[in-house]
């Protein structure tokens, strides 16, 4: 049994409701703002609007998997169960946004590139990233012992997170169909404002999601410990 199981930390700090509502309202505002204030792009017309969900989704994916990396290393090092639960919450949110990024990209690719999908390095590496974290979540549900589950999933989480810089650099390391990252200087200010505002809004939503999932995971884990203690007959440890 781990030395620092969550029973000794008391209840988690609840995610404040104002953060959730604030993130939602801010997101609605930034979406409307971005769409209303930006003209059609010179090349692709109003299809450019997909930028306002695709790029923020990708950014949130990378950030969430970054949290998985740090929390997983922290768990292996300190054996603090809370880090394992934070990694799990972030992996879940990251996987969801990664899936969204892929779908939005396909919807964008069909009318601009002419194809839904192509096996270039950016698309392939993003799909691999998504599948690794789907695997991560599956692994967690297969392993019964919480401590072993934490160790195994931390290893997978670290391996998965290593893919993030590979996905990011893929458009520069290899020839791809996907264009390279847009430098803010190459994006007209009229598009840039809505873009950055939406990155902020998506980030807030992700923080809310992760916090909420982490809170739930803490209670689940407390119940797990209680059940274990009951099975052992009374006193825990």
23 versus 101: smaller Cβ distance to other proteins = 101
Question: Both tokens of residue 202?
Answer: 């998506």
**C-alpha angle 95/92/64, rounded to 5°?**
70
Cα distance between residue 199 and residue 143, in whole Å: 35
Length of the chain as a residue count: 237
Beta-carbon contacts of residue 197 (< 8 Å; ≥ 6 apart): 30, 33, 34
Cα distance between residue 216 and residue 211, in whole Å: 9
Is 224 a binding residue for other proteins by CB under 8 A? The answer is no
Q: Tell me which stretch binds other proteins (CB under 8 A): 39-47, 87-95, 138-146, 221-229.
A: 39-47
Query: Smallest gap, in angstroms, from Cβ of residue 6 to other proteins?
Result: 18
Is 42 a binding residue for other proteins by CB under 8 A? The answer is yes
Collapsing DSSP to helix, strand or coil, 183 comes out as coil
Question: Both tokens of residue 197?
Answer: 């505002």
Per-residue binding string, other proteins, 11-30, x by CB under 8 A, is: --------------------
DSSP one-letter code for 162: T
Collapsing DSSP to helix, strand or coil, 81 comes out as helix
CB of 6 closer than 8 Å to CB of 82: yes
Q: Tell me which stretch binds other proteins (CB under 8 A): 26-34, 106-114, 199-207, 210-218.
A: 106-114
Q: Please give the residues from 76 up to 95 whose contact with other proteins meets the rule CB under 8 A.
A: 76-77, 79
Candidate residues 14, 28, 103, 110; the one interacting with other proteins per rule CB under 8 A: 110
Q: Please give the residues from 119 up to 158 whose contact with other proteins meets the rule CB under 8 A.
A: 119-121, 151, 154-155, 158
Per-residue binding string, other proteins, 163-202, x by CB under 8 A, is: ---x------xxxxx-xxxxx--xxx-xx-----------
- Give phi and psi for 45, each to the nearest 5: 65, -145
Is 114 a binding residue for other proteins by CB under 8 A? The answer is yes
State the residues that interact with other proteins by CB under 8 A.
3, 39-48, 51, 76-77, 79, 110-115, 118-121, 151, 154-155, 158-159, 162, 166, 173-177, 179-183, 186-188, 190-191
């Amino acid at each position: 049994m781990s030395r620092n199981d969550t029973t000794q930390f008391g209840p988690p700090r609840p995610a404040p409701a104002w953060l959730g509502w604030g993130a939602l309202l801010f997101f609605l505002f930034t979406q409307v703002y971005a769409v209303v204030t930006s003209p059609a792009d010179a090349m692709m017309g109003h299809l450019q609007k997909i930028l306002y969900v695709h790029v923020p989704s990708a950014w949130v994916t990378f950030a969430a998997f970054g949290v998985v990396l740090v929390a997983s290393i922290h768990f292996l090092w300190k054996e603090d169960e809370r880090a394992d639960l934070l990694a799990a919450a972030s992996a879940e949110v990251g996987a969801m946004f990664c899936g969204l990024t892929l779908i939005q990209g396909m919807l964008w690719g069909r009318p601009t590139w002419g194809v839904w999908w192509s096996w270039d390095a950016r698309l392939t590496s993003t799909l691999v990233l998504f599948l690794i974290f789907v695997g991560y979540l599956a692994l967690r549900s297969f392993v019964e012992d919480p401590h072993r589950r934490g160790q195994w999933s931390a290893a997978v989480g670290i391996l998965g997170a290593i893919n993030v810089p590979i996905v990011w650099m893929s458009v520069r390391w290899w020839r791809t169909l996907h264009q390279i990252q847009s430098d803010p200087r190459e994006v007209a200010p009229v598009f840039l404002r809505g873009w950055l505002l939406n990155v902020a809004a998506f980030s807030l939503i992700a923080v809310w999601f992760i916090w909420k999932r982490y809170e739930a995971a803490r209670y689940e884990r407390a119940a797990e410990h209680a059940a274990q203690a009951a099975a052992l007959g009374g006193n825990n440890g």
